[in-house]
Copies of this chain bind each other. A is one copy, B any other.
Amino acid sequence: MAEERIVTAALLVIGDEILSGRTKDQNIGALAEHLTSIGIRLKEVRVVPDDEDEIVSAVNALRLRYTYVFTTGGIGPTHDDITADSIGRAFGVAVDIDARAEKMLRDYYAGRGLEVTPARLRMARAPLGAELIDNSVSAAPGFRIGNVIVMAGVPSIMRAMLEAVTPGLKTGDRLLSVTIAVDRPESEIADVFSAHQKRYRDVAMGSYPQLRNGRPVSDLVLRCSDPARLNEAADTLKAALNL
């Protein structure tokens, strides 16, 4: 097969509420699934508190390692929403009211007969040079600067922003997968499975234990961007397991 085109990403979840357990994150799974489906490989996730130093240091560590860094959370109007300022500091650029974002907010609130207060205008702040990301749910935009894509934490708004930003993303070869559900515990198939991994080193193979009706069973997942190679590895594995 031709050389693989690999595009990678990290996700930075920003929010005390996830770390306290008060809010259960839904964005990790949603982003992971979406990126996998479009050919971007999520390689790392971090969750950090609403703390500027922590956000800056995580963004800078991640943006140098991966093609893209997505962030969720901390872009609302209240004092604990410090993502825009933190990203500006990470890139060493000023953060101010963005005229295009201000217009989006003014149009949105005017249409609802509401005043644009200073707190609402806070949601128009972005690092200089950022591109805006449309928010079809509640107007206040996300933004993209360099390879960092800044989205809201509310899951429905995060998903709207992810849809909006997707057409502009570079994508690579999709990692295809086949799942083989085996009605035996991992320990009974481990030797065959391990030998099979050695035979197909270019196909990543993982085993995921499950309890089905209280009994331990296994899902074997094979991943490869070449469909012919993937199918061959899956078929020969099924044969080796007498499935």
What is the chain B residue whose CB lies nearest that of A117?
B187
What is the chain B residue whose CB lies nearest that of A193?
B78
Q: Which B residues are in CB contact (< 8 Å) with A207?
A: 76, 78, 80-81
Complex Cα spacing A30 to B20, Å: 10
Q: Which B residues are in CB contact (< 8 Å) with A34?
A: 21
Assess whether A136 is interfacial by the CB under 8 Å rule: no
Assess whether A110 is interfacial by the CB under 8 Å rule: no
Partner of A29, one of B24, B46, B120, B123: B24
Q: Which B residues are in CB contact (< 8 Å) with A23?
A: 208
What is the chain B residue whose CB lies nearest that of A119?
B190
B22 touches A221 (CB 8 A): yes
Interface string of A37-58 (1 = CB under 8 A from B): 0000111111111100010000
B21 touches A32 (CB 8 A): yes
Interface string of A152-163 (1 = CB under 8 A from B): 001010000000
Range for the number of chain A residues in contact with chain B: 35 or more
Assess whether A111 is interfacial by the CB under 8 Å rule: no
A206 touches B36 (CB 8 A): no
Assess whether A33 is interfacial by the CB under 8 Å rule: yes
Find residues 192-209 in chain A having any chain B CB closer than 8 Å to their own CB.
193-194, 197, 204-209
Assess whether A240 is interfacial by the CB under 8 Å rule: no
Partner of A20, one of B42, B44, B197: B42
B187 touches A77 (CB 8 A): yes
Partner of A211, one of B30, B31, B156, B221: B156
Given A36-B20, A36-B21, do A122 and B190 touch, yes or no (CB 8 Å)? yes
26 residue pairs bridging A and B, Cβ less than 8 Å apart? A16-B206, A18-B29, A21-B29, A21-B30, A21-B34, A21-B35, A22-B179, A22-B208, A22-B221, A23-B208, A24-B28, A28-B28, A45-B46, A45-B47, A76-B209, A77-B187, A78-B194, A79-B190, A80-B205, A80-B206, A117-B187, A118-B191, A119-B186, A119-B190, A154-B209, A154-B211
- A residues touching B (Cβ–Cβ < 8 Å)? 13, 16-25, 28-36, 41-50, 54, 76-81, 117-120, 122-123, 138, 154, 156, 175, 177, 179, 186-191, 193-194, 197, 204-211, 216, 221, 223
